[in-house]
Amino acid sequence: MRLKVKSETPIQKLLQEMGVCSQEVLVFIEGKISPETSIAKKGQEVSIIYFKHGAPQSGGALHKQRKFEKCKCGGNPVYYAPHLGRHFCKRHFLEYFEKKAKLEIRNKKLIQKNEKIALALSGGKDSFSMLHFLSHLKEALPFKLFAITIDEGVKGYRGHTINRAKKFCKKLKVKHYIYTFKKEEGVTLDSLSKEEKANCSVCAVLRRRLLNSKARKLGASKLIIAHNLDDTAQTVLLNVVRNEPLRFARMEEPLVQSKSLIQRIKPFATLSEKEVATYAFLHGYDYGEGACCCPYVQHAIRRFIRHQLNLMEEAYPGTKLRIAASGHTIQNAIRKTIPEEKLQINACGICGEPSANQICKACLAISK
Ligand SMILES: [Zn+2]
Ligand SMILES: [Zn+2]
């Protein structure tokens, strides 16, 4: 959305009138990224960009109008952190962002010196941010990094993002491997859609297996996933809504450690999606180019929960962090109740990849 304001207009008021939740958009005044606490002057052009999915079905309401302030250094802010009540200029935002991700890595011992690590790179804003962050991190903590992109075979959608992923890796000199569902699995999302089997869970199960087996065969000890705080908080609420306690137990890490199962790590786990979107923008990510959504995406409940969470965050800053923390508390409690026999990993009878059951979910999904 782009508009010229007729008189001096607080952006928060504008967003409220438009029914837009500030946690779902990036705001630009005269092309400059600005926090939602900014005030646009008469005649200035304001653009509002949804960084995911486009506008939701129901609107958002701001509960508190927050005051625009400069960064503590006196610089012009690019981001407002509601849970801290603080504005950040570009330099201090980047510092804050990277410090938080580094803290997560240090606290959970996610990356060791000289370790060989794979990054799951889709080509979207989240993995783009991760690639940039990791290439900065490598200067302080030397480790070997390569990227894996999975081409799920969605005509007219994936080609563009895959080219973008290639471009990122070339620029940052990161070795890049691309695998296709077509060659590795013998199916594509397009072909599955003809059998009415093209949905997010089938796609996720296939992608997960392929990422795990390729990362392992390429010698990685860990696989980096660019999930953020919003993803975790959404998953916690989804598990509650669907009443699936076992999913809680498996939420962050597998129930059992196994050599065949590459550990998935999430350095952005404490950063919000808006923070990741801002970081991506500040590193040159272009929100204008290409399609943003897979045509097979069916995220009815997740999308609804995502929007509700953003509204809650806006009204009660820190909600996402607390929901994620609740998830971990529940997870620890449930893990203690799981019987021994469930705590083992088998090799799938068809493909040989690790599986909790005799046949893995990916093999089941394709054969059904
Ligand atoms: Zn500053
Ligand atoms: Zn299998």
Q: What is the pLDDT of residues 257-316, one digit of tens each?
A: 788 899 999 999 999 999 999 999 999 998 876 555 677 776 678 888 998 999 899 889
Give 368's pLDDT tier (boundaries 50, 70, 90).
Answer: low
**Beta-carbon contacts of residue 180 (< 8 Å; ≥ 6 apart):** 150, 151, 153, 188
Give the pLDDT score at 334: 87
pLDDT digits (tens, 9 = 90+) for 307-364: 899 989 988 999 999 999 999 999 888 888 887 777 778 899 999 998 888 899 899 8
For 73-82, 86-95, 202-211, 242-251, which range has the lowest pLDDT when averaged over its residues?
242-251
CA of 284 to the centre of ligand 1 (A): 20
- Residue-range domain boundaries for the chain: 2-68, 92-339, 340-368
Residue 105's identity, in one-letter code, is I
Strands (E), the chain: 2-4, 9-10, 25-29, 32-34, 39-40, 45-50, 77-81, 86-89, 116-120, 144-151, 175-180, 222-224, 263-265, 346-347, 354-355
Nearest partner of 208 among 362, 343, 42, 24, judged by Cα:
362
pTM: 0.89
CA of 91 to the centre of ligand 1 (A): 6
CATH number of 2-68: 3.10.20
CA of 324 to the centre of ligand 1 (A): 29
Residues near ligand 1 ion, CB 5 Å cutoff: 71, 73, 75, 89, 92
In a 3-state reduction of DSSP, which class is residue 123?
Answer: coil
One of 2.60.290.11, 3.40.50.620, 3.90.76.10, 3.40.50.10140 is the CATH number of 92-339, namely 3.40.50.620
CA of 232 to the centre of ligand 1 (A): 29
CA of 5 to the centre of ligand 1 (A): 27
